[in-house]
Structure 1
Amino acid sequence: MTGASQTMQWANALSQRASLEAAVQEVVDTLKPHFDTPPDLALVFISSAFTSEFPRLLPLLQEQWPLPVVVGCSGGGVVGMASAEAAVEVESAPALSLTVARLPGVTVQPFHRSGDDLPDLDSPPATWTDFIGVDPATNPQFILLADPFSSGINDLLQGLDFAYPQAVKVGGLASVDGFNRQSGLFCNHTLHTEGVVGVALSGPIVLEAIVAQGCRPIGPAYQVGETERNIILSLNDPEHDHDERPPLEVLQGLIQTLSEADRKLAQNSLFVGIAQDEFKLTLSPGDFLIRTLLGVDPKTGAIAVGDRVRPGQRIQFHLRDARTSAEDLDHWLGNYRRQQPTAPAGALMFSCMGRGEGLYQSANFDSDLFQQYLGPVPLGGFFCGGEIGPVGNTTFLHGFTSVFGICRQP
């Protein structure tokens, strides 16, 4: 049996106190007795109800419990453990979630980088590793939290995939309150309002990702013909002898074959899945990156998609609703549990503000389902303005998604 000194230890506490002092005091009082030495990593998520008090968070936390590494951000809601057994999702109300972890032998490297200083995408991998300051030979895993108005986040993810192809990267975009549009990013003793903060974890730690995009496919997969960046001008239609047809014509024909309920759903919850593996013969739901259908051109029959599309790629139309979202997460959690029967040490949840109670008409849906499958694992996280997680071997920024980052000992 592993000695106590070598055992990874995770814990989370949540406070819903309306006073920031009281909230910090409550999470520290809950967690501190469980650690005889300071934890190696703290992840803090604070609801945007506290926006005016963001500058006070780190000093208050430092005063109560000097932690060596603190990384975190603001969220439209936060996720944390209301008790040792159950996580809750607190939306649109004051809340503070603090996750702390003791990580024996793990190198913990926090960083903040400005979105303005990103290397050029044509730069070699060494330029990116110098920019992040983490040696790829240490096999790092990344937790990333970014400013929602940062235009460079997709470039950053592309650069990190290039420089650290084996690394799992999870996280989300901080979300803002509806009034002053200000988000908060926290890194050690400093509050940032732009760029990205993150932490690289190297050594005896495994970070695994579950990415639940919450959609189901309708109709066949089509091969993309002509494109202009994110505009699809023609599709190869397998149902019409592989004729190249305008996408809008293909879509209208497909919608006629749907049930009444799905036709209704297609009016406002229709998405495009872009297959990530060009060589896989039989495509299943996890093979698609889900993107928004931005619009159609009735004159040409072209459709615009929320990502660049290349000729030869395959797409499939998808629908999203609460039932589909629930079934999709259920599928991925069940799949994970079958492959990893032992409980992880801790987990993080990055969920879109478009999910939660607004989608399911029921509180704590995603976190409850997670704990039904994996047990009372310490779970912390927040509701994001965009979620970061892998599909296939590539890291993407998602919407309407729940991403779980699951940590365990090797």
Structure 2
Amino acid sequence: MSGAPADFIAAQATGETWQQAIGRLLPVLQKASPEHRLGLIYLTPEFASELPDIEVLLRQSTGVPHWAGTVSFGTIGVARDGALEECYGSPAISVLLCPFPEEAFRIFSGARGESDRISETHSDWLSQAGPPMILAHGDTANGLLGSIIDDIVEETDGFMIGGLSAAQGPGSQIADGADGQGLSGVLLSLAQLPVQTALSQGCSPIGPVHTVTAGEENVIFELNGRKALDVFKEDIGEILARDLNRCAGYIFAALPVAGSDSGDYTVRNLMAIDPRHGAIAIAASVRPGDGVMFCRRDPASAADDMRRMLSDIKRRLGDRPIRGGLYVSCAARGPNQFSDPARETQLIEEALGRFPLTGFFANGEFSRDRLYSYTGVLTLFI
């Protein structure tokens, strides 16, 4: 009779040097067994240039053969006392060792252009594993990243999680060796590694969905047949409408996700307001017929939506225990949104308790087949 599966192992540490941080991690990570075949690593920009060397040291010190991860604005993980914590603004490294059998995952790397075909490289594995969960890390300097994401999700029929790196170029990602300049990560077999995942928005809608009736590229001229700015002012209210400068960093555009059964939307920045022509520019291309609404970003709304997300995922878990998890949060959240610098991990721990967790603050977050902003994406292995 086979024994119970090994536990996930998580550790996070800060340090003035990467050697100091690794020294604090190793007493925990060296508990790894032969069942731990995959390690995830996230570290802050202070240690970015050493990421390839850190991977080699971790592989040699733990015996874990496969590694994936990236440079991030901050890390999320488990403190020495077992509490979930966030490290933002100080040099840090977060690691999660996963007891996954070799046949349950595949590392992928080098996806840098539209001609890249992950499904061809791993066709035999995909035919056996079925549609995967795709944990991906992306380089923001690659202008083709959107089409690469579309290609990989479409070809594998997968569900993508992860996010954009805080660094660019070669060595900003790890995928069994240094990678970067595109997309890399891990294909996970959902047939062998059951998960639950959920997304929390950092904004809340302040009005209904409007229809773009005149627009070009990223400029909206009309909504519902009226000047876009007139509709915008009605939604934001009289006080903000009198001083539109106060909208900066507080009011955003939101694009409803087609086919979503949960009212999902992607948030994009307001780029400019043209009072003369009554037009609004946003950080996304639009065309007539598209839906657009406006939303506000504030700590209370974000915390409320995170509680909603955690309540929903707890309901879906039922009595199944959490083995390990990954949390990817927007770099604009964390201490940049909440007065408490560890508010998100506090909410996770309050709802779900303590469990092995890693994660990072990203330059944009992946969920399913889309790139989001201002969101938190939680994935639990059960």
TM-score by length of 2: 0.89
Residues 299-310 of structure 1 aligned to structure 2 (within 5 Å): 299-310=276-287
| 1-structure distance, mates of 2:243, 2:266 | 21
- In the alignment, the residues of structure 1 paired with residue 361 and residue 207 of structure 2 have an alpha-carbon distance, to the nearest angstrom, of 32
Describe the shift of the 1:369–1:264 C-alpha distance in structure 2 as closer, same or farther (beyond 3 A): farther
Paired letter, 1:291: R
Q: Against the structure 1 CA distance between its residues 19 and 105, is the aligned structure 2 distance closer, same or farther, given a 3 Å change threshold?
A: closer
C-alpha displacement at 1:89, in angstroms? Answer: 0.7
Go from structure 1 to structure 2 and tell me whether the alpha carbon gap of 1:11 and 1:279 turns closer, same or farther (over 3 Å shift): closer
Residue 192 of structure 2 corresponds to residue 204 of structure 1:
yes
- CA 196–181 in structure 1, closer or farther in 2 if over 3 Å, else same: closer
Note the alpha carbon deviations across 1:202-228, whole angstroms, 9 max, x for none: 131123322222111112221222332
2:358 to 380, 383, 388: 380
- After TM superposition, give the deviation of residue 249 of structure 1 in Å: 1.5
Q: What is the RMSD of the two structures over their aligned residues, measured on CA atoms?
A: 2.8
Matched residue, 2:341: 363
**CA contact 1:343–1:374 (8 Å) conserved in 2:** no
Q: Aligned-pair distance for 1:69?
A: 0.8
Query: Cα distance, 1:260 vs. partner?
Result: 9.8
The 1:168–1:265 alpha-carbon spacing in structure 2 relative to 1, beyond 3 Å, is: farther
Of 105, 114, 118, 2:114 maps to 118
Paired residue secondary structure (1:39): coil
1:194 and 2:184 correspond: no
- Give the aligned partner of residue 352 of structure 1: 330
The answer as to 2:110 corresponding to 1:135 is: no
Aligned equivalent of 2:142: 150
Q: Distance in 2 between matches of 1:261 and 1:354?
A: 27
Look up the SS of the partner of 2:185 in the other structure: strand
- The one-letter code matched in structure 1 to 2:323 is A
Are 1:401 and 2:375 matched, yes or no?
Answer: yes
Counterparts of 1:325-344 in structure 2, within 5 Å, are 325-341=302-318, 342-344=320-322
Tell me the distance in 2 between the aligned counterparts of 1:318 and 1:175: 26
Structure 1 residue matching 2:8: 3-state secondary structure: strand
Once the two structures are superposed, what CA deviation does each residue of 1:174-216 show, in whole Å capped at 9, x if it has no partner? 114xxx998621122x223422221001131123322222111
Structure 2 Cα separation of the partners of residues 109 and 79 of structure 1: 24
- 1:17 equivalent to 2:7? Answer no
Aligned to 1:272: 253
Once the two structures are superposed, residues 253-284 of structure 1 have per-residue CA deviations (whole angstroms, 9 ceiling, x without a partner) of 3333568999886343111122223697xxx6
CA distance in structure 1 between the partners assigned to 2:239 and 2:151 by the alignment: 41
What amino acid sits opposite 1:173 in the alignment? L
How many residues align structurally? 378
- Which of 300, 319, 322 lines up with 1:323 in the alignment? 300
Distance 1:324 1:384, change over 3 A: same
Match in the other structure for 2:152:
160
1:43 pairs with 2:54: no
Paired amino acid for 1:216:
S
Question: Displacement of 1:322 after TM fit?
Answer: 1.2
Q: Relative to structure 1, is the Cα distance of residues 223 and 300 closer, same or farther in structure 2, using a 3 angstrom cutoff?
A: same
Cross-structure match for 2:162: 171
**Offset at 1:137?**
5.5
What amino acid does structure 2 have at the position aligned with 1:403? V
Query: Are 1:50 and 1:94, in contact at CA under 8 Å, matched by a contact in 2?
Result: yes
Larger CA deviation: 147-156 vs 38-47:
147-156
Query: CA contact under 8 A between 1:343 and 1:375: conserved in structure 2?
Result: no
Distance 1:407 1:264, change over 3 A: farther
| SS of residue matched to 2:337 | helix
Identity of aligned residues (%): 25
Unaligned runs of 5+ in 1: 121-126, 237-243
Matched position secondary structure for 1:363? coil
Letter in 1 for 2:274: D
Question: For 2:127 and 2:340, how far apart are their aligned partners in 1?
Answer: 43
Q: Secondary structure at the match of 1:404?
A: strand
Corresponding residue SS for 1:382 = strand
Kindly indicate whether the alpha-carbon contact (under 8 Å) linking 1:347 and 1:380 is maintained by their aligned counterparts in 2.
yes
Partner of 1:312: 289
Q: 1:263 to 1:368 in 2, by over 3 A?
A: farther
Runs of 4+ off more than 6 Å: 180-183, 258-264
| Cα pair 1:74 1:183 within 8 Å, conserved | no
* Alignment check: 8 A CA contact 1:84 1:376 kept: no
Give the deviation of 1:326 after TM superposition: 1.0
Please say if 1:98 is aligned against 2:95: yes
Moved more, 141-150 or 260-269: 260-269
User: Taking structure 1 as reference, are residues 261 and 20 closer, same or farther at Cα in structure 2, changes over 3 Å only?
Assistant: farther
Amino acid of the structure 2 residue aligned with 1:365: R
Are residue 4 (structure 1) and residue 3 (structure 2) matched? yes
Gaps of 5+ in 2: none
Q: CA deviation at 1:378?
A: 1.0
Deviation at 1:78, TM superposition (A): 1.0
Change (3 A) 1:405 1:315: same
CA 1:181/1:36 → structure 2, altered by over 3 Å: closer, same or farther? Answer: closer
Q: Is the 8 A contact 2:197 2:380 kept in 1?
A: yes
